[in-house]
Structure 1
Amino acid sequence: MKIAAISDIHGNIYALMKVLEDIDDERVDLVVCLGDLVGYGPHPNEVVALIKRREIPCIKGNYDASIVDGAFTFIRDTSINSFALPWASEEVRASNKYYLSELPTELNYDIKGIKIKFTHGSPNRINEYLFEDSNETKKVMENLEEDILVCAHTHIPSYKKFNNKTFINVGSVGKPKIGRPNATYCIININEDKNIDVKFKEIEYEYKRIVKDAQMLNFPSQLVASYESGNE
């Protein structure tokens, strides 16, 4: 069973289209989206429409939840978010807000007897950052009932074994923090022997297109520059 896990698209339709092209080439059995379809980028409605059209199972990210309630409930109150949250709240159509509001906060699969939990932040909180070497991650993995935890939210891909448990963070399609502008996602392959193979993919896309769109909409220069640098 070959699974592609994507997350943190953040209104970047160009990165999403390129990643989905690569996923199609990989001939996966299942695509799962870990949320944050909206926020930051200038094309939130297009991203939601494409995820819906492809019928990709999706969970709710912290920015999705914040757009729905229109407040800093699940996101940090920063200078960038003070622009991006009200802009996206105004831009996202009512039907798409309803779609985001109805998304689950986790997805669970049993594949060949291997249990997988998909979350955005952590199983505890939608906006908890899980870095591979943090104490929070260690505690989460100690308490994890499933065999694999697949999460996102940090925008940094990572993979680590915790005894017999597997921790995976899939990175970000639309707002990477890897020091390069490329989109990242993860492929998880569970073979007949129940061995788990994890592969991260880094995909180039025409990031200058989103830079141009953001500039035309007078997005903050710090936000525009992040698409070029691959940093926050």
Structure 2
Amino acid sequence: MRIAVISDIHSNLLALKAVLEDIKKRGVDITVCTGDLVGYCTYPNEVIELLREKNILTIMGNYDDAVGYEKFICGCDYPDPKDMENASISLNYTIETVTEENKRFLRELPLEMVLKFEGKNIMFVHGSPRRINEYLKENSKEAEEVMGEFKYDALVCGHTHIPYVKKYKDKYLINAGSVGKPKNGSPNANYIIINVGEELDVEIHSVPYNYETVAEEILKNGLPEKFAENIRTGKA
């Protein structure tokens, strides 16, 4: 069984299309999205509608929650006031852009999902089972705490925008990275494929796409230059 997992698309339609094309070539049985469909880039409606068209199983991310309910706070932890200001600009733009129908879709997304594949129970969340916006960074105290009490075979999340896999005794913590706003130092879109058998094997894929067009659209729409820089560099 091969499960593709995508996450943190953040309104980046070109990256999403490139990843879905790549997935199509790799003999995948099912695709799951762990949230944050919207924010930062300029195609939130198109991203939502493409995922709906493809019937991709999708979890709610903190940005989806904020836009769906028009909260005007994204739930991210930004110690730099400038980053917080930019996040507010992104959120306001996205709330104004997303249609009422698509906001309703975001509101109806589940916070978590547990699926069974070949005897393995795999939980999908955005941040963590404890909070939608909790960062389970690799080797972090938070990850140790969560996995210390985790009852399923694998936990798959996003939110950090950096893909990784780590085993905690007989349980796996897997981060799907980010399709639309990677933070691993490359502008390429990234996602994962989980091969389910006696053990779990995780492939991390990096997909090139025309990120310069996305960066130019960000600037054309009056969003912060920092967003375009992030897309071009793959850095936070």
Normalising by structure 2, report the TM-score: 0.95
Measured in 1, the distance between the counterparts of 2:88 and 2:172 equals 36
RMSD, matched Cα: 1.0
Determine the structure 1 residue equivalent to 2:96. 90
DSSP-derived class of the 2:57 partner: coil
Query: 1:69: how far off?
Result: 2.3
Query: 1:59: how far off?
Result: 0.5
Determine the structure 2 residue equivalent to 1:114. 120
Measured in 1, the distance between the counterparts of 2:167 and 2:27 equals 26
Measured in 2, the distance between the counterparts of 1:183 and 1:11 equals 13
Amino acid at match of 1:137: A
Query: Structure 1 185/22 Cα, relative in aligned 2: closer, same or farther at 3 Å?
Result: same
Query: 1:195: how far off?
Result: 2.0
Extract unaligned runs of 5+ from structure 2: 79-83
> Is 1:139 paired with 2:145?
yes
> Is 1:215 paired with 2:219?
yes
Determine the structure 2 residue equivalent to 1:227. 231
The 8 Å contact of residues 65 and 74 in structure 1, kept in 2 or not, is answered as no
DSSP-derived class of the 2:205 partner: strand
Query: 1:184: how far off?
Result: 0.6
Structure 1's consecutive aligned runs of 4 or more residues displaced over 6 angstroms after TM superposition are: none
Measured in 2, the distance between the counterparts of 1:220 and 1:196 equals 40
Extract unaligned runs of 5+ from structure 1: none
Matches within 5 A, 1:38-53: 38-53=38-53
Amino acid at match of 1:8: D
DSSP-derived class of the 2:25 partner: helix
Determine the structure 2 residue equivalent to 1:35. 35
Determine the structure 2 residue equivalent to 1:57. 57
DSSP-derived class of the 2:58 partner: coil
Measured in 1, the distance between the counterparts of 2:15 and 2:44 equals 12
Determine the structure 2 residue equivalent to 1:183. 189
Deviation digits for residues 106-127 of structure 1 (CA, Å, limit 9, x no counterpart): 1111111111000000000000
The 8 Å contact of residues 63 and 74 in structure 2, kept in 1 or not, is answered as no
Measured in 2, the distance between the counterparts of 1:151 and 1:73 equals 17
The 8 Å contact of residues 215 and 227 in structure 2, kept in 1 or not, is answered as no
Query: 1:75: how far off?
Result: 3.2
Amino acid at match of 2:24: D
Query: 1:135: how far off?
Result: 1.1
Measured in 1, the distance between the counterparts of 2:129 and 2:207 equals 28
Deviation digits for residues 194-231 of structure 1 (CA, Å, limit 9, x no counterpart): 22111100111100110111121121111111110111
Amino acid at match of 1:47: V
My pick for the range that moved more, 109-118 or 97-106, is 109-118
Amino acid at match of 2:187: P
Determine the structure 2 residue equivalent to 1:17. 17
The 8 Å contact of residues 74 and 91 in structure 2, kept in 1 or not, is answered as no
Determine the structure 1 residue equivalent to 2:87. 81
Measured in 2, the distance between the counterparts of 1:113 and 1:27 equals 20
The 8 Å contact of residues 34 and 124 in structure 2, kept in 1 or not, is answered as yes
DSSP-derived class of the 1:126 partner: coil
Query: 1:74: how far off?
Result: 2.2
Normalising by structure 1, report the TM-score: 0.97
Which of 105, 128, 133 in structure 1 is aligned with 2:134?
A: 128
